[in-house]
Structure 1
């Protein structure tokens, strides 16, 4: 399918910042902004069933994607989906256990990729969700698609679930790097297809979530985070030269500068543990930065929230900046605190 050209006649503030412009106030969105902290999401889930049922039901997924935009003056919609759609498309079975999170079966500790029958048809409902959202989205709102980065997705595929230290995947990468590289390559190839499909269905930009990037030693980080991400970015750009890509290597810390330099992402997401003043001092001056409010400060509200917002905006005032959280918004976040955040950022409600 031929790529759809971006409409240059409509001002999309967040997309402009991804292109290197500075905006005051900064555009804002929140990771996991479509989800459990919203009563309308909880009501829909009670009516429709489980999480995965909603992800694969385009009317429900589109409604959830749009819900926060109806409440708040956010500059981006983020597709309601999950990073484990890619292993599901590769043929691993996916389920969500209440109170425990996702499960992939069989785990690659007990099976091999050759045991799976790929099911690329599982990507089609996600593309339909994108088309439905695009048809209803305000022209000035940037539409963000996403996928998990190869390392993080591999950790789930190997262990069959999330884990605190990602020990199974790390041990496999040390013990049998050839086999682990084959897993990463399969994820890479499917992720390329998946993200190109999202772009062709209507997203404006994409984010690569590397939620477990912080668990690796420096040389392993180079091999399993930076190198696969760089390849994926290069391949995406070869297919869709105008596409803007945000990299979010959570926990990378002191390796952020190398990640920014070597992956070629258009913007870098910072988690809440990163000092924004330090990040500003070590990253290229023109690189757009996204982040990085602690989600717990949003729950706390009051002076801690005001001080945190001020600190981030002051530290990143000299570069293109997208205001966001350092990770996903939490279920117990008061709606009033989100409204306060937006008012403090100069976003009229």
Structure 2
């Protein structure tokens, strides 16, 4: 499995490719399945339909990895925090006021359908196709729990200064719950797991170390103790100058790069031999044509000779034409 080989620091050519949010609204098949489910949360918790949408881009484009179809906020929902998705507005949660309202003991029962999806997928995917399990990083999930929605997270940032002990309590609960959640995914059949710290970049260095790196490190340490040989991808989006420290200290085996972090700069900041994933600008996938072709060829030139996983610097957007995705895969495959 060349995807796993790269996570083991082996240079593979052409590099393996998958896309964040590769199962999503740009595919008419996905839109039809979601309509069948009724709403987004119901789709995430329906193992048959979640399996279906996870497999759709694999069947269509032949990606080297499938990522479990779910959402990072399924875990706080399982802990007892309300969750709904407003059409065109994103997730909404009642802002967390009291840590005592969270019920970690009930979480496994709520997210049990997700584990069934993982198990079904491992049975239906080709052996050479990696299955990626995932969770939101504790800092990122805490942002949504404390603010109740996306959009800069002003309450979270204020609480980090005014009530740091409360934020630490939330992160402690989330860290332990994330360990159990990802461990269950591995037991169900995930080949590797990914931590999405999508909002790592809102924290200044001292808070980044405490709220992002430290919880990620504990998650990686415990998971690797439980599951020998497990590989973990971390995605500290917009980490900026903290990228090197994250790569060295968080315990991950590969680092996802956002679109504003260049590969040469990432290599300069990180230990030699660090495995990277990313970092094509999602806008290029929408535009296609010469702009995309040239960017992909530049990226391939930059990653040749290094262990690398081709991906975007953020999730694929709903307005991307399928033909552009097919062209991207073709460019990567033909580079060999």
Indicate the TM-score class for this superposition, using the shorter chain for normalisation: over 0.9
For 1:274 and 1:199, the matched residues in 2 are separated by: 30
- 1:89 equivalent to 2:75? Answer no
- Secondary structure, in 3 states, of the residue corresponding to 2:294? helix
Distance 2:5 2:207 in 1: 34
> 2:125 and 2:91 mapped to 1: Cα distance?
30
Change (3 A) 1:50 1:219: same
Q: Could you say what secondary structure the match of 2:93 adopts?
A: strand
Q: Which among 317, 327, 335 is matched to residue 340 of structure 1?
A: 327
Distance of 2:210 and 2:228 partners within structure 1: 25
TM-superposed CA distance for 1:244, in Å, is 0.2
Where do 1:77-226 residues align within 5 Å?
Answer: 77-105=66-94, 107-108=95-96, 111-118=97-104, 119-120=106-107, 121-163=109-151, 165-226=152-213
Alignment match, 1:289: 276
Check if 1:74 corresponds to 2:60: no
Could you tell me how far apart the structure 2 residues matched to 1:44 and 1:261 are? 41
Larger mean CA deviation between 94-103 and 280-289 belongs to 280-289
Aligned with 2:38 (options 5, 26, 49): 49
Instruction: Show the counterpart of 1:319.
Output: 306
CA contact (8 A) 1:94 1:103 kept: yes
Residue in 2 that maps onto 1:304: 291
The one of 239, 244, 268 aligned to 2:226: 239
Q: Go from structure 1 to structure 2 and tell me whether the alpha carbon gap of 1:347 and 1:97 turns closer, same or farther (over 3 Å shift).
A: farther
Moved more, 191-200 or 227-236: 227-236
> Which of structure 1's runs of 4+ aligned residues deviate more than 4 A?
none
Which blocks of at least 5 consecutive residues in structure 1 are unaligned? Answer: 1-11
How far off its partner does 1:339 sit?
0.8
Measure, in 1, the Cα distance between the counterparts of 2:49 and 2:161.
Answer: 42
- 2:83 is the counterpart of 1:59: no
- How far, CA to CA, are the matches of 1:286 and 1:152 in structure 2? 27
**Distance (whole Å) between structure 1 residues aligned to residue 161 and residue 211 of structure 2:** 11
Counterpart of 1:93 in 2: which secondary structure?
Answer: coil
Using the alignment, how far apart are the partners of 2:129 and 2:248 within structure 1? 28
Shift of 1:347: 5.7
Alpha-carbon distance change, 313 to 92 in structure 1, aligned in 2, over 3 angstroms: same
- 2:42 aligns to what SS in structure 1? helix
Give, in whole Å, the separation in 2 of the partners of 1:117 and 1:188.
Answer: 14
Question: 1:241: how far off?
Answer: 2.2
Q: SS of 2:116's equivalent?
A: helix
Contact 1:104/1:157 (8 A) holds in 2: yes
Please, what TM-score do these two structures have when normalized by structure 1? 0.93
Shift of 1:280: 2.2
Distance verdict in 2 for CA 1:136–1:347, change over 3 Å: farther
TM-score between both structures, scaled by the size of structure 2: 0.97
* CA positional deviation for 1:32: 0.2
Please say if residues 145 and 207 of structure 1, whose CA atoms lie closer than 8 Å, have aligned partners that are also in contact. Answer: yes
* 1:330 is the counterpart of 2:321: no
Task: Give the length in aligned residue pairs.
Answer: 333
SS in 1 for 2:83: strand
Seen in structure 2, the aligned counterparts of structure 1 residues 280 and 116 have a Cα distance that, compared at 3 Å, is closer
The alpha-carbon deviation at position 123 of structure 1 amounts to: 1.3
Question: Is 2:19–2:312's contact at 8 Å kept on the other side of the alignment?
Answer: yes
Q: Cα distance, 1:281 vs. partner?
A: 2.6
User: Aligned-pair distance for 1:117?
Assistant: 3.9
Contact 2:245/2:270 (8 A) holds in 1: no
The answer to whether the 8 Å contact 2:196/2:235 transfers is yes
Provide the rounded CA distance (Å) in 2 between the counterparts of 1:19 and 1:69: 23
Residue 346 of structure 1: how far off its partner (Å): 1.5
